Amino acid sequence: MLNPDVQSNGMELPTCQSCGRQDETLRLAAYPFVVSVVFMTFQRQFSGLWCSRHRIGYWLQAALITSIIGWLGFPFGLVFAPFRLFQLMGGGIQPAEANSELLRRLGEKKIQEGNSAAAIKCFEASLQYMDVPEVRERLQRLYAMQARGEAPNRLKRYSLYLGVIIAFSILGQLAGAADYLLSYFVGGIVTSTNLILVILLWTPTVTMIFLSISLLRCVLEWAARFTQQTSVFPLLVVGISTLLFFIYNVMTGESFADFLVFVMWGEGYDSQIDTIVSASLIFFLGGVDYVYYLFTVGQAWAMIQGGILLVSLVAGIVTLWKKAYGWARWQTLLRSLQGPQWNRNVEF
């Protein structure tokens, strides 16, 4: 299933299995998932050839199945679920050689159809998987005819990066608050020693953090392409600081929701001023308070919660680190294929 014969020189090029689309977003992909039932754990995968729109659906199914019921098996669920989630966080399995070849052939087809804009997109995508001299050459000729758009200037770039950091900070606050309210309303089972129930309580946290970090990976890939970022340093700085802000704000969101519940129960402060001052302090410093709380409360769930946040942070950093190098290398390669010398010398 994963390796349809894309090498063959058949007339028909593969299309999206779901909608028949044939564009630069087409990929061969596999999304592994884990299903656990108490002492049994199964691993399966969705695999096929899909456009971006239909890949997301399978990715999401695999991710939700794994993060919600993948853990619920002893002992292998607890081993395979995090491993598969880490794989899915990076975008699942996309064989480099097959995808590079598929996109090259798609690019050739677009040239034959006279659609050079679409061909450029296919060849660019092909080079993201593998640096093939033949594809380079094709793309160089196409760039000579149709120059690549200007990269946005420094101000626009930095505003975009700042926007990403702010957006994910807000997302973190919301995730933290949602997590707090969930545990608050099912608070009775927090003290339970039943492993399955304990896991059921951590799955919303893990799912929300996992989805957010995966979204960050997509946003950063888009940003790297949009800004034509050839240097890895800004990508790493933006990626890792966004992650740190995100995780910190998850903790702040937990504190803030706790504060809101406290105020809403009518146990507020003497004056409105006090309430507003406390609210703004917690809105920014609640994360520090939460870390202190996790360390001092002396309960198993606090250690699990702290562990989840720490492991998510590390998994996010490793994923973004690996990806950022790939994106910068890719954009450097594309940059090297354009340039004034080609506008002068190459005839197509």
Q: Which parts of this chain interact with Zn ion (CB under 5 A)?
A: 16, 18-19, 21, 51, 54
Closer of 16 and 34 to Zn ion (Cβ): 16
Give the shortest CB-55-to-Zn ion separation in angstroms: 8
Give the shortest CB-25-to-Zn ion separation in angstroms: 8
Give the shortest CB-306-to-Zn ion separation in angstroms: 41
The gap between the terminal CA atoms of the chain, to the nearest Å, is 38
Give the shortest CB-52-to-Zn ion separation in angstroms: 8
Helix/strand/coil for 30: strand
CA–CA dist 106, 288 (Å, integer): 52
Locate all alpha helices (DSSP H) within 96-191, ordered by sequence.
96-112, 116-129, 133-145, 154-185
Tokens 């004034």 belong to residue: 340
Give the shortest CB-139-to-Zn ion separation in angstroms: 25
CA–CA dist 58, 65 (Å, integer): 11
Give the shortest CB-73-to-Zn ion separation in angstroms: 33
Cis peptide before 75 (omega within 30 of 0): yes
The residues near 251 (Cβ < 8 Å, ≥ 6 apart) are 176, 286, 287, 290, 291, 309
Closer of 16 and 235 to Zn ion (Cβ): 16
The letter for the amino acid at 71 is: W
Helix/strand/coil for 294: helix
Closer of 18 and 241 to Zn ion (Cβ): 18
Closer of 54 and 138 to Zn ion (Cβ): 54
304-250-198 Cα angle (round to 5):
25
